[in-house]
Structure 1
Amino acid sequence: MWTSWVFWMIAAVGLAILEVFLPSFIFLGFAIGAALVGLILLFGGTAVSLSVPMTFLVFAVVSLISWILLRQLLGVHKGQVKVWDKDIND
């Protein structure tokens, strides 16, 4: 199961849907990692026979890199100030 490309693609779609409901760019990073592992397993075929620990290592590294890149591109930048439009006491 852990080395099946279908499992990783379903996990990627599930994590992407979870990101829609809980937007924080964390689940999107995991979704990108799962999708890339699924693509590696799909197109790698027998040339890339990843063991279960290696599959999880690739998933973790790709997820971390994609989260860092998303944070740099879409996160709060230095000097950016949060502007409040409404007060909850009004």
Structure 2
Amino acid sequence: MAGYLTLWWVWICIALALGVLELLAPAFIFLGFGLGAIAMAGIVLILPAAGVPALLALFALLSLLAWIGLRFAFRRQSSGGRIITRDINEN
């Protein structure tokens, strides 16, 4: 398994699988991991001689940064629900 994580197409497959999971459970959780996996595909394509522990640590860091970026990008998104501050039964 150690050699497989250094192949760029494995990271693309992982990113696609995480994208499908995000479609099944939309909460912007798996999307951050998917973006991290896409970034890892580019890194492994450029630097294929990195060790597996370093690759997994970098994947975790990139996924965390992608998740934080998504939280900032979608924080202003509203659910469209009204906030009621006055009760109609109050006189």
Q: Bin the TM-score by the shorter chain.
A: 0.7 to 0.9
| CA RMSD of superposed structures (Å) | 1.9
Describe the shift of the 1:81–1:14 C-alpha distance in structure 2 as closer, same or farther (beyond 3 A). Answer: closer
Runs (4 or more) in structure 1 with deviation over 4 Å come to none
Taking the TM superposition and a 5 Å limit, the aligned residue runs for 1:29-68 are: 29-42=32-45, 44-45=46-47, 48-68=48-68
SS class of match (2:23): helix
Q: Identity over the aligned pairs, expressed in percent?
A: 35
| TM-score, normalised by the number of residues in structure 2 | 0.76
TM (norm. structure 1) is 0.77
In structure 1, the gaps of 5 or more residues are 85-90
| Structure with larger Rg | 2
Taking the aligned partners of 1:18 and 1:62, their CA distance within structure 2 comes to 18
Separation in 2, partners of 1:68, 1:38: 20
Tell me the residue number matched to 1:83. Answer: 81
**Count of residues in correspondence between the two structures:** 79
